[in-house]
Structure 1
């Protein structure tokens, strides 16, 4: 789970952002697309979001997707996923592409990232009238960001503001020897700030697999069968557990995909994720 330089063609993301127009409401109740870049939701310089508001949006119908980037919890940036997320704003979703505090500093270890997600949700809910969007929120993410999206959805979503979650190539059980073998023990230790031997309960509590129950929200998982960074068994285990609790769920696997997938597989992910959120963000 290193920095995903390839993901969704970062070099073109920045140029696309610079060309996309910021537009405002026109006519009676008609809105054109609007892009808000590097909006602060906290006092730390990492606490910024990009917001993509679709045309013809409304408080009643426009659903919200909050997306978390990957990068092993200590690297990565929202800009790496701009092209991927444009699909959703082009198909009627309000998209919040968030940066969060990375586990580089001693003060930013887990659960700092859970606080950031909560703050983004609160910020967006405070802006529904201004942005003309609904309060129907789904979480999504890739790799470490997918782990954070799942963990928040299962363990920190007591108010049920998040209605559904989508996870791409997610680590789901940090205590599993398989995930430690591929990502490296140090990676997880760095994120959590403690070794497994000194704090096994912390490692378990930070694992979405161990936080699922019958009240968990609808979950769709995407994973490459050839993933050499996060083994697909991580999604398979979670999928089986969701099944055992009767939670609405789906696992979409791509036979030839590694930790990152593009082309037809990526297009398939976009379509299925959009369908999932349209179904469950009610």
Structure 2
């Protein structure tokens, strides 16, 4: 990484009865850092991306994109910073500490914190975006679709665009959409999805619906980029396809990139980094284009 500072472990939210939640803040060196993407500071500050990690809502850590992607050494977060973005990668409560909607409330708190401190870090408050992988993609999608919703009585949690890698989007249908060779299914006893909502989805369809981004699609949704591998054995590719169809039907802007033969965390049969590279490049290009619109 050639640009700027990394500020580790900044407290952004302290939920009642829980440990404080932290974020890592990655700052570009400046508008003259040599990036040619057009995503520089401008008069109002740098565009910013808030990242939420994956891990099935039960594990994982901020600033990680999962062991496989991290192992590739591509450093997508650092690439975004070098492209002229501030990046904040935020904690959220895992399912051993709280069930949904705690995770969404935490994600929204991260957005509000960054907007409240935009001037401190040279961020343009009108160009804040959300990005996540797997469970983090689920949260990024919910953040984008439930902006200013009265989930916790607070506002100013809107984002200007969302990129989500292989996100769960419809918890009620995940089990039936699973591949025959699925590693995990939402309707398995004690599944990640069951731990998230505190019940088996089939036994609590209303809870599953409330935790599903598909539920909140509306015409004024921010632009979306959904990226999914066609051979995903953890989150069925139909989850991204369904959300894409719903957003298109509502008249919202959405782009769907399907990467052939890619499993979860961009694993390919030949073991190469090609899928991860394609997903990273598409994500940076998407945010660059969004930043240039404003």
Identify the TM-score tier after normalising by the shorter chain: 0.7 to 0.9
1:153 — aligned with what? Answer: 144
Displacement of 1:267: 2.1
Q: Which of 183, 186, 203 is matched with 2:185 structurally?
A: 183
**Could you tell me how far apart the structure 1 residues matched to 2:63 and 2:290 are?**
27
CA contact (8 A) 1:66 1:137 kept: yes
**Equivalences for 1:8-157 in 2 at 5 Å?**
33-43=4-14, 44-45=18-19, 47-57=21-31, 58=41, 60-81=44-65, 83-105=75-97, 108-135=98-125, 136-157=127-148
Supply the distance in 1 between the matched residues of 2:93 and 2:227 (Cα, whole angstroms). 25
TM-score, length-scaled by structure 2: 0.79
Structure 2 unaligned spans of 5+: 32-40, 150-155, 267-271
Aligned residue for 1:168?
Answer: 165
State the Cα distance separating 1:126 from its structure 2 match: 1.9
- Alpha carbons 1:178, 1:231 under 8 Å: kept: no
After superposition, residues 230-245 of structure 1 pair within 5 angstroms as: 230-245=235-250
Please identify, of 191-200 and 166-175, the stretch whose mean Cα deviation from structure 2 is larger: 191-200
Helix, strand or coil for the counterpart of 1:41? strand
Secondary structure of the structure 1 residue equivalent to 2:88:
strand
Deviations 1:92-121 (A, max 9, x none): 00000111110112xx11111111112111
Contact 2:11 2:21 in 1 (8 A): yes
Greater share of residues in helix: 1
- Residues of 2 paired with 1:197 and 1:100: CA distance? 26
Tell me: CA distance 1:198–1:266, structure 2 relative to 1, closer, same or farther (3 Å).
closer
Please list the CA deviations of residues 46-102 of structure 1 after superposition, one character each: whole Å capped at 9, or x if unmatched.
Answer: 611110000115462410100010011111112423722111001100000111110
Q: CA deviation at 1:179?
A: 5.4
Contact 2:171 2:186 in 1 (8 A): no
What is the 5 A alignment of 1:258-273?
Answer: 258-261=263-266, 263-273=273-283
Q: Which region of structure 1 is more displaced relative to structure 2, 226-235 or 190-199?
A: 190-199
Q: Could you say which residue in structure 2 is the equivalent of 1:280?
A: 290
**How many pairs are equivalent?**
251
Q: Shift of residue 173 of structure 1? A: 0.5
* RMSD over equivalenced CA pairs, Å: 2.1
Q: Which moved more, 1:66-75 or 1:266-275?
A: 266-275
Provide the rounded CA distance (Å) in 1 between the counterparts of 2:11 and 2:258: 36
TM-score, scaled to structure 1: 0.82
Q: Mean Cα displacement is larger for which, 56-65 or 35-44?
A: 56-65
